[in-house]
């Protein structure tokens, strides 16, 4: 069951309200310490070959797009290259995937109410259509959803150097669905206990590039999804 924990004032079954989505940067800096994640919007990528590898100067030049002269080779072994980079900003709608949600669980997250999303696919599609109409210069919205994967660190490992390099240029869905197992700020805060299920929306402009987001919060009339929500 996909469950949205919230305050009663933000539950469309409890009050007249809107569906609110927030950016990665918002969740990184919000003063709500129940949900703040200082690692949000950034990911570490590591080239970690399973065995030592060697590349010629020409091969390295092709991978990184700059000429490296000389006929020698560059050898990599172990955790050879690690970079930490931002991923394109996006809007999130954060829910939880639980069989039996309770008010006690809601309270542990700072909330006093919850409702269910009966059809995640349709919910994602409807929000994406509404967002495309709302965000200036938006030609499409890359929209997807899925359960969050929890790790000891937000790191993606590559055993192949070309794949590692290409990963910096391509929007990968899984990068938006990764969180640390615990908060880097407060090790007593275990994110994995939230069983988070995310809806992710990346507005794209005509040249297929992500649009810089100027609004950290965006809201939509709850009527566009009300029939696929359920009070439980």
Predicted confidence (pLDDT) per residue in 139-155, tens digit: 999 999 999 999 999 99
What 3-state DSSP class applies to 112?
Answer: coil
pLDDT tens for each residue of 171-195: 889 999 999 999 999 999 999 999 9
Average pLDDT over every residue of 128-135: 96
What's the mean per-residue pLDDT of the chain? Answer: 91
> For residue 165, what pLDDT is reported?
83
Which residue ranges make up each domain of the chain? 2-43+86-230
- 64 — phi, psi (to 5°)? -100, 0
pLDDT at 38 over 70: yes
| Band (60; pLDDT cuts 50, 70, 90) | confident
> For residue 166, what pLDDT is reported?
80
Tell me the whole-structure pTM to 2 decimals: 0.89
Q: Could you give the CA distance from residue 38 to residue 47 in angstroms, rounded to a whole number?
A: 24
Average pLDDT over every residue of 83-95: 94
| Band (70; pLDDT cuts 50, 70, 90) | low
- Across 41-72, b (16+ Cβ under 10 Å) vs e yields bebebbbbbeeebebeeeebeebeeeebeeee
> For residue 150, what pLDDT is reported?
96
Q: Could you give the CA distance from residue 12 to residue 220 in angstroms, rounded to a whole number?
A: 12
Tokens of 111: 């909330």
What would you report as the CA-atom Rg of the chain, rounded to the nearest whole angstrom?
21
> For residue 121, what pLDDT is reported?
98
Lowest mean pLDDT among 11-15, 146-150, 160-164: 160-164
> For residue 73, what pLDDT is reported?
84
What percent of the chain lies above the pLDDT cut of 90? 65
């Amino acid at each position: 069951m996909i469950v949205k924990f919230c305050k009663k004032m933000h539950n469309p079954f409890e009050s007249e309200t809107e569906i609110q989505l927030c950016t990665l940067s918002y969740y990184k800096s919000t003063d709500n310490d129940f949900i703040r994640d200082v690692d949000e919007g950034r990911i570490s990528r590591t080239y970690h070959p399973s065995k030592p590898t060697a590349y010629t100067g020409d091969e390295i030049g092709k991978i990184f797009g700059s000429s490296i002269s000389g006929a020698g080779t560059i050898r990599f072994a172990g955790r050879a290259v690690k970079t930490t980079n931002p991923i394109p900003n996006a809007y999130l709608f954060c829910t939880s995937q639980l069989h039996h949600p309770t008010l006690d669980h809601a309270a542990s997250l700072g909330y006093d109410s919850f409702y269910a999303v009966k059809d995640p696919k349709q919910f994602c599609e409807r929000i994406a259509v509404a967002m495309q109409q709302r965000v200036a210069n938006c030609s499409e919205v890359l929209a997807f959803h899925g359960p969050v994967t929890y790790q000891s660190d937000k790191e993606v490992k590559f055993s192949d150097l070309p794949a590692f390099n290409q990963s910096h240029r391509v929007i990968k869905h899984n990068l938006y669905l990764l969180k640390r197992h615990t908060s880097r700020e407060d090790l007593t805060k275990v994110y994995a206990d939230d069983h988070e299920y995310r809806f992710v929306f990346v507005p794209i402009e005509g040249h297929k590039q992500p649009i810089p987001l100027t609004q950290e919060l965006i809201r939509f009339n709850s009527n566009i999804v009300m029939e696929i929500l359920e009070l439980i």
